[in-house]
Amino acid sequence: MTAPMSKADIEQTARALRSGQRVALSRAITLIESKRADHRHAAATLTQELLKDTGKAVRVGITGAPGVGKSTMIEALGSMLTAQNRKVAVLAVDPSSRRTGGSILADKTRMAKLANDERAFIRPSPASGTLGGVAARTRETMLLCEAAGYDVILVETVGVGQSEVAVADMTDFFLVLALPGAGDELQALKKGVVELADMIAVNKADGDNVARAKLAAAEYSAALHILSSRLPNWSPPVITCSALSGDGVPQLWAHILDHREKLTASSELKARRGDQQVKWMWTMLEERLFEPLRSDRALKAALPRIEADVAAGRLAPATAVEQVAAMLAKD
């Protein structure tokens, strides 16, 4: 994709994407991820063209500690949904992907059944290196997938820290997967992820783990009673399930649909989507404003010296900001 896209090219891409052509979808996502100015303009035109075809999908964010079975759960849930003639897209938010390649790349291999399902689409996180940029492009990709007819979007967070907040802010339902035997993990989750959860599912509740999973679920339920829910008319349920055997996966999906029905009836879904759109706008604007700091040669050359002077106490942070702002204004 080197030549600038004409209006006719964009309209043709939009038509092909609406018809569900996977090649068109992949090309459109590559366009979204490009940092070229002309590609960025074409991407904005394309998303505006497709905007009326978006917004109908069920958007589910999924997080959990390493080893909790996210890939197995995504494949189990996704395969169950494609068997019901739904189209499922799996996306990832991974701010570390530039350094590590992102675990979703390996997950695509582990989710071999879903990856080979013609009703499923799996897309790795762009190797952007900044959470804001990755999250913004994941949101754009989500819209493209919806326009292409995917009615369930599963967004996995494979990073740490603020990536959970980013995924919760771009989805309708935030699912936290937990392991049997909460212990120290419960204490850590209390302070962050649990507050974002619309449901906690204790995975790997099979074999000798069943009793431990039920105990963990009881502990998570108790923790949730202490915290206030994100929504006035929804109390996050805690369930046990096994992605490996499929036990509890239909119930998990039933809770997601129940949550969507309640949010739609109270107009909270529309309000949440609106808030997300505004946050999305500001995220993309911040990314655009910071772009010269990464691309301007003079700035890139000067920043290490300025940072060293600030660290050594030779330059006040406020003065450093004024210097950088002056260079940006001159540019």
Cα angle value 107/103/250 (rounded, 5°): 45
Most confident of 192-201, 229-238, 246-255: 246-255
**pLDDT band, residue 128 (cuts 50/70/90):** low
Q: Is the pLDDT of residue 103 over 50?
A: no
Does the 54-279 domain belong in CATH 1.10.150.650? no
Average of pLDDT values for 274-303? Answer: 84
What is the reported pLDDT for 231? 74
What is the reported pLDDT for 99? 45
Lowest mean pLDDT among 40-44, 199-203, 250-254, 287-291: 287-291
Q: Is the pLDDT of residue 211 over 80?
A: yes
pLDDT tens-digit map of 78-92 = 999 999 999 999 998
Cα angle value 134/89/231 (rounded, 5°): 75
**pLDDT band, residue 126 (cuts 50/70/90):** low
Mean pLDDT of the chain: 85
- What residue ranges do the domains of the chain occupy? 1-53, 54-279, 296-330
Going by C-alpha positions, the residue among 30, 61, 20, 243 that lies closest to residue 124 is 30
Distance in angstroms (rounded) separating the CA atoms of residues 218 and 186: 11
What is the reported pLDDT for 101? 43
The pTM score is 0.86
Q: What is the DSSP letter of 230?
A: S
The architecture of the domain spanning 1-53 is: Up-down Bundle (1.20)
